[in-house]
Structure 1
Amino acid sequence: MDESSAVRTVDVVSVGIEINNVTHLHKINQRETLQEVIDQLKFNLGLPKGQMYALQFDKRNCYVNESNRHLIKDGDVCHLVYSPEVLVSTILGRLNERWAMAKLLDFVGDASLVQQLELQDGISKLVTILQDDDLLPEVKELAFQVVAELFKQDKVPVEWMKGRLLNRVRIQVSGEFKSSDKTLAACLRISLALLDETGRQADGEQQVILDKIVSHLESGSQEVVEAALALLNKRTASEAIERRSLLRARDLLATRLQAAVWPIDAHFQQQLTVFQSRLTSRLVRKFECPANESDAKVRRRLSTLTATNAPSKDKFAETTLRLLAESMDQGQGNYQPNLLLIDCLTHSVRLQLHQLSDDLLKHQPFLHLCEQLIRLLLENLGLLSKETQMFHPILFCDRAFEEMFCACVRALNKTCKEMRAKGEDVPKILTVHGKKMQMALRETPLIPEKFEEAINKISYNQVWEAWLDENEAQQERAFRQKASFLELREELRPQYEDMVKMQRLRVMTAGCNLRRYASKVHNSLVHRSNKERVVNMKYNANGKSFVIADPEEGTFKIHKSQIKNVLTGHNCPHAKQRGSKISPELALSINLTNADVEFINLSANSAKELDYWSDGIRALMGQSMVSTSYNSELQDLLDMHLKIHFLGMENVEFPDGPAPPVPETPSFTNQLDINAF
């Protein structure tokens, strides 16, 4: 009687079973197989035995199976419906109807239904029916969404997408047929899945022109914009795109970014970063390409500078023209400005940068100064790095780099005027401005005006503090790598390990309340109740045993010699049990030998409490403490000791090599003979 009562209180959950919009209260034994549970429900509800039924979660388009049945809790409502096999058979019989396609879209994420869809050859039938000209438009839209979801699950072979069906996808993507945002996003994802490694469609069908894909970036749906951008990135990786189309796509994305109406998740940011690399690759190529006077583009830019300067007689333009002319003259030296420098200076002259400092303009050579400024800007934007690309929304603006260059020139000129800097001081100020650029870009400005505001707002004191913090961190990292520091750390380690161990033992001696779960009994097939109960557990140092006060089993002791092993997390047996409600992150199991039970299954109240008890038990067994809290606390204690130890040694230089050996004890041969007195 006690055993059956124990089973009912733990493994039986009371749920509402809804069938035909009528809810019936039933108890489900989680130890029985799912088929046994369904057969019992059919018997209780008087349903025919030949029909195949299954349980379905309420408000979730998901069937109950053996892997997720533990999610059923007391008071939940489940639907008793036809099994996935019956549902798929019914759907395939009415596949050209909207009801069937809508039902398939609702459950396409369920593994049980997709498995039955594969077994009944439903995926090939779905692909075939999409080629039917008589298919209703609303059914066709739903079908495209289902195929896109199946593509995401790698359930549709690429070779099936050919001929008329592929042409239908192309029509949707090209915008020849107006469809809903979800259908368009689905077709864009299908097109992306059909691209092979070379960026071309697998069967060689006519592709959608890139302008059509760019036009989808105007959509008000984030799902469509993300799918279109991913397809555009894939296509432009292997084929050229017109500059006009690239700039149009940039402007559309800049509008979305500046409006900030959508959250930018990791996937969307990755696609934006890939597209950004397409935009900025021209900047890097221009920076690495020296200008040649025989180049028509260079002559055109120089003529633009001359025409711009003619009416205004701007000092900055005059200086720029003179220096460019001197640098382009092969007889004036080997220095040649790069194309990006000429572009930036041309844009600066168009903006008519008046009243620049004479010291800034007279700094020799001024073009070198501008080129260093451009290099600093490229480095801080991460454009010169070959490994990783950083995402900067500001680069999606028109003439963003040139505008940022002008902002840096104005800020540099302002600093020179305020500090009354001479020509020899400009390189030092340039170094400060490099740090200002870095700090301003951390604020993620969306437009060049915000970048200029940020760089002007940063004071020299802020730059100095940032440098001090970086230098301290760098010196600390270098100091921690010195052999003498590491040797001292290892010498101190044992005493602090003992300190942490004693703290764990004090925690166990004080005891605490833990939740306990029963386990299998030795030499018996009977299971005890798995219902959690609160027990008090403490360590008796004198008796070298753990004392557990259990409200059901009374107080009993476990000698430390009986402990075979200690398990935590997902390795605990009660965390693996079907229908378990235990949080695996807090599970603790003590494996015993020569005892009535094999495991003492517990659950801690917090992660730190779990670490303390697992470390303490391992320490009693002579094992190493391996918890996260142990490593963190040990490092904190060692760091604190060493900081105090080296508190008065800020300017002391420590040797880089290993510490010298301890000298031997000297032998005193000239000792006085006490008997001589």
Structure 2
Amino acid sequence: MPPHSDIVKVAIEWPGANAQLIEIDQVSARLKTLLKDKTYQHERRSRARAARQLLDRIQSHGIDARLEALKELAKLSADPTFATEFINMEGIGTLARLVESGTHFGEMLAFTLTAFLELMDHGIVSWDLISLSFIKQIAGYVNQPMVDVSILQRSLAILESMVLNSHSLYHRVAQDITVGQLIGHLQVSNQEIQTYAIALINALFLKAPEDRRQHVIRGNRPIKAEMAHQLYVLQVLTFNLLEERMMTKMDPSDQAQRDIIFELRRIAFDGENDPSGTEKRKAMYTKDYKMLVDVLKRLFGNHVNPAMDFTQTPPGMLALDNMLYLAKLHQDTYIRIVLENSSREDKHECPFGRCAIELTRMLCEILQVGELPNEGCNDYHPMFFTHDRAWEEFFCVCIQLLNKTWKEMRATAEDFNKVMQVVREQITRALAMKPSSLDHLKGKLRGLSYSEILRLRQSERMSQDDFQSPPIIELRERIQPEILELIKQQRLNRLCEGSCFRKLGNRRRQEKFWFCRLSLNHKVLHYGDLDESPQGEVPLELLTDKIPVSDIKSVVTGKDCPHMKEKSALKQNKEVLELAFSILYDPDENLNFVAPNKYEYCVWTDGLCALLGREMGSDLTRSDLDTLISMEMKLRLLDLENIAIPEAPPPVPKEPSTYNFTYNYG
């Protein structure tokens, strides 16, 4: 008979006795405990020896030995037993001192940070014990324009853990790291860096006191241009997270997605959680019309297969997400809108689904979802920073506006596009007022009713008509050359002051600068390299190179620039491409620029064109021309206010019958 599988042979060495092999039919609980304890003790002694050896090697003077030790430590630190032993030997303090010394770089620093983070994640040591100098060193790695990816990744992760695990460390980290500094890490192609940067941003927002959250956006002090630009970039990047859902088509064969549609129907017409209010409303709306057998028809345009409504991109599944958010978190509003539409006459009804889909598409266009941030733009909206679900809440406000405007216009299905045009105008006018919160937005929209939009349109049309009369057009044509000359002189004066430009290499950023300015006699362009960004004007004596204006053949922009053709990576960067321009001069040489922002780009391209006697065609020139001409004409016409200007000059009277005039000199 073969031995039972439970029978094992073990060798046990008792203290003070010889080892012997014993057959045991059943392992007792005491023996199991003994074996487990012996194994743990052996493992602990083994880990302790390894920890001591690694700690000694880390503190050795040999660079290669220290690197190998840190590499091995980074792997073993995930083990709780080893971590306990290493921490008990003051290993955390040793690693912190290595980082604080600032003498470690590259792989050695990356392994040090990895081991430190793994050890701290076990929760054995409190984060409150971290020194201020360590925090400043880690923050320095994050703020450096060029740092190794692995070091940056671990530094971001360490700062996130500090913020989340210690209230006191939050304040220290917040002093050295701002959201604006983290925005640059979201613009790199490395997805892990983007992930850790977003995680740190979220941690800073999560742990920030409520008054501090509102302080950045709603403080009494004016927001500076750079801060406004960073907030705009954050707003754009936040909305760009919606792009994936916006470009995702609904799969009609996906039962889970189809269930969402039926969930919308159930919430609207079956009701839940409010048997008093909801049921009363339902009874009121459904009392005088047929039973809701055509529910899907009234909810969606394609009632045979509603899923087909969400196969167009944009807005794709984003529209369905918005509808579900409204139905679940603003259920009373959702039920009221759906049932109001359902209770209207057939010619005045509008399927809720179609409204939501078109509105979502419109909001994506207005807020430019999926577009890259524009350099120099600072058009941010404070209200989007006051709610965790700002996009969804914005949609909920706008869908109520659409329903209200539809009723005010007494629209039919044929008027759908007209209604959407009015709603777009209401939303854009309200956003232009920069409401500070969603409640403030609601107040602005209440003041922009359909009748108010008609009044504003009529007023603007009349004002525009006044400026289209022949006498006004003639006056405008006479003024325009003077204004263009004024703009030209401003551009040339700006070139004489000069500008600082950043040199771009293979990396995204390099802290190298050069300066260029026009001589006061407008005959020579002086330029030269600088060690750092200058404060104020740079004397011509420091600019060693020069180009005579007479040698300049042409000015090219964008993809026609030589440095955009040479560097394919820069050519693919839309932001850099829009700011690039080059001077081509004899003999077959070029001077390449990348402007720091759109304003400087327009000023320099206009100024160079003016030097060459060519037309200034930038957007800035057109804007300045319209503004200055409008101001000048209003000043000249100030005395004619409320006086109708005739289309034609008054008629010349007929000649008198005789020219023998009698003068009375009395």
Same fold? TM cut 0.5: no
**Structure ranking higher in helix proportion:** 2
Task: Give the TM-score, by structure 1 length.
Answer: 0.42
